[in-house]
Amino acid sequence: MSGDFVAAREDFEAGLQAQDPTLSICRVFVVEDCLFTDDPARALAQARLAAAAIGEESANATGVVFVQRGLGVALALNGDWEASVAAFDRSLERAHEYTTFLQSEPSTLVWKARALAGLGETDQARETLDRAMRIGEQQAIAFHLPLASLFSALIERSAGAPPETVEARLSDALVTARERAPGYEPLVHLEAAAWASERGDDAARRRELERARDLFAQMGLPSRARAIDRQLA
């Protein structure tokens, strides 16, 4: 797991340094990686460079779909929820207008649900997440499931759902991450730590943070692991 994760990041970074012809695509993958590296400022800088290079009216419709989605992710990582929703909508509109890159729709909707939750639009967030799951099932696509499970737990926690609901969503997110995309597992532990903190359970908070720290270290993200160590100090 950690080897593949590190190798992928190195490939995208190399693409940036070499001014790869698919530079805008490399930038968007770096944006996605910032979910793990916790570098929202870099995510936004790379996303804006990619968006400026492609433009909103480019004849490269697939590029616009991809880059606007990346911009939405970067804005969400920076907590700019309203602008994030707008970018995701631009991506989805172009995808349907030109019938291109529709396989990205479930994951784009998952991120849009996160942004809607950030705006406090819980019902819309749930509906959007449900729509992502339905479309993914129709298209036989599953790569959005780990993030969908994680954001489902986050949405329910943020909405003040009953404890048993949040616990069930966290448990599902952990199982989904382990089965489908182990790289998401430390993010689930961070969400569980936030949930423990809200409940005033410091022992559980520390336990979840320690698990996340160890996994980030295994994934080749020592700076993220050290940041958690500072929280534990």
CATH number for the domain including 21? 1.25.40.10
Domain boundary among 101, 130, 159: 130
User: Does pLDDT of 223 surpass 60?
Assistant: yes
What are 160-187's pLDDT values in tens digits?
Answer: 999 999 999 999 999 999 999 999 999 9
- Shared-domain flag, residues 121 and 27: yes
Both tokens of 42, joined, read 């870099």
For 41, the domain range is 1-130
pTM above 0.85, yes or no: yes
Residue owning tokens 């080897």? 3
Looking at every residue in the chain, the average pLDDT score rounds to: 87
pLDDT band at 15 (very low <50, low <70, confident <90, very high): very low
The answer on 122 and 90 residing in a single domain is yes
Which stretch of 43-47, 78-82, 224-228 has the lowest confidence by average pLDDT? Answer: 43-47
Do 62 and 102 reside in the same domain of the chain? yes
Whether 186 and 222 map to the same domain: the answer is yes
Name 166's Cβ contacts closer than 8 Å, sequence gap at least 6: 153, 156, 157, 195
Tally of domains within the chain: 2
135 domain-assigned: no
Same domain, 123 and 13: yes
Residues in Cβ contact with 146 at an 8 Å cutoff, skipping those fewer than 6 apart: 173, 176, 177, 180, 181, 184
Burial of 143 (C-beta count, 10 Å sphere; 0-12/13-18/19+): middle
**Do 175 and 62 reside in the same domain of the chain?**
no
Q: What is the pLDDT of residue 2?
A: 39
Residue 95 falls within a domain, yes or no?
yes
Q: Tell whether 96 and 24 lie within a shared domain.
A: yes
**pLDDT beyond 70 at 35:** yes
